Amino acid sequence: SFLINLGDKEYLVGASPEMYVRTKGKRVETCPISGTITRGETPIEDAQNIKELLNSVKEESELTMCTDVDRNDKSRICEPGSVKVLGRRQIEMYSRLIHTVDHVEGTLREGFDALDAFLAHTWAVTVTGAPKAWAMQFLEDNEKTARTWYGGAVGHLGFDGNINTGLTLRTIRIIDGVAQVRAGATLLFDSDPDAEEAETALKASAFIDALRRPRGAAGANGAAAGGGKAAAVHTEGAGKRVLLIDHQDSFVHTLANYVRQTGAEVVTIRSNPLKVGLDEGEIDRLGGKRGFDMALLSPGPGNPTDFQVPATMRACEKRKIPVFGVCLGLQGIVETYGGTLDILPVPVHGKPSPVDIVGGTKGGIFEGCPTNITCGRYHSLYALRGKMPKDLKVTAQTEDECIMAVQHVSKPVAAVQFHPESILTSPGMGVKMLANALKNLKSSMYK
Which CATH number belongs to the domain containing residue 57 in this structure?
A: 3.60.120.10
Q: Is 143 exposed, middle or buried (0-12, 13-18, 19+ CB in 10 A)?
A: exposed
Q: Tell me: the pLDDT tens digits for 275-299?
A: 556 788 889 999 998 999 999 999 9
- Under DSSP, the state recorded for 223 is T
Q: What is the pLDDT of residue 282?
A: 87
Q: Is 110 helix (H, G, I), strand (E, B) or coil?
A: coil
Region 406-428 average pLDDT: 96
Q: What is the pLDDT of residue 225?
A: 46
CATH code for the domain in which residue 284 is found: 3.40.50.880
289 vs 393, more confident: 393
As for how many domains the chain has, the answer is 2
Residue 377 pairs with which residues in a beta bridge?
Answer: 351
Question: Which residues have a Cβ under 8 Å from the Cβ of 188 and sit 6 or more positions away?
Answer: 58, 61, 62, 65
Report whether pLDDT(167) > 70: yes
Report whether pLDDT(224) > 60: no
- Domain for residue 219, yes or no? no
- Domain for residue 407, yes or no? yes
- Domain for residue 233, yes or no? no
Q: What is the pLDDT of residue 218?
A: 57
pTM, two decimals, is 0.81
Q: Is 62 exposed, middle or buried (0-12, 13-18, 19+ CB in 10 A)?
A: buried
Q: Categorize the per-residue pLDDT at 338 as very low, low, confident or very high, splitting at 50, 70 and 90.
A: very high
The verdict on 192 and 43 lying in the same domain is yes
Q: What is the pLDDT of residue 172?
A: 96
Report whether pLDDT(231) > 90: no
The verdict on 318 and 402 lying in the same domain is yes
Q: Categorize the per-residue pLDDT at 227 as very low, low, confident or very high, splitting at 50, 70 and 90.
A: very low
Q: Which H or E run includes 231?
A: none
CB 302 within 8 A of CB 332: no
Q: Tell me: the pLDDT tens digits for 356-384?
A: 999 777 889 999 999 999 999 999 999 99
Q: What is the pLDDT of residue 276?
A: 57
Question: Which residues have a Cβ under 8 Å from the Cβ of 327 and sit 6 or more positions away?
Answer: 298, 299, 300, 378, 379, 416, 417, 418, 419
- Domain for residue 222, yes or no? no
Q: What is the mean pLDDT of the chain?
A: 93
Q: What is the pLDDT of residue 274?
A: 59
Region 74-90 average pLDDT: 98
Q: What is the pLDDT of residue 275?
A: 53
- Domain for residue 235, yes or no? no
- Domain for residue 44, yes or no? yes
Q: What is the pLDDT of residue 228?
A: 52
- Given 196, 212, 228, the domain boundary residue is 212
Q: Which residues are catalytic?
A: 327, 419, 421
For residue 239, give Cα distances in angstroms to 295, 427, 429, 444: 15, 25, 22, 17
By residue range, what is the domain housing residue 263? 241-445
**Cα three-residue angle 331-262-256, rounded to 5 degrees:** 50
Region 262-272 average pLDDT: 93
Q: What is the pLDDT of residue 229?
A: 59
> Which DSSP string do the residues of 120-186 spell out, in sequence order?
HTPSPHHHH-SSHHHHHHHHHHH-SS--TTTTSEEEEE-TTS-EEEEE--SEEEEETTEEEE-----
What is the Cα–Cα distance from 291 to 243, expressed in whole angstroms?
Answer: 9
Report whether pLDDT(45) > 50: yes
Residue 161, phi-psi category: left (phi > 0), alpha (psi -120 to 50), beta (remainder): left
- Given 212, 231, 250, the domain boundary residue is 212
Q: Categorize the per-residue pLDDT at 226 as very low, low, confident or very high, splitting at 50, 70 and 90.
A: very low
Q: What is the pLDDT of residue 437?
A: 97
CB 104 within 8 A of CB 224: no
Q: What is the pLDDT of residue 299?
A: 97
> Which DSSP string do the residues of 336-355 spell out, in sequence order?
HTT--EEEEEEEEEEEEEEE
Question: Which residues have a Cβ under 8 Å from the Cβ of 103 and sit 6 or more positions away?
Answer: 29, 30, 31, 85, 86, 87, 90
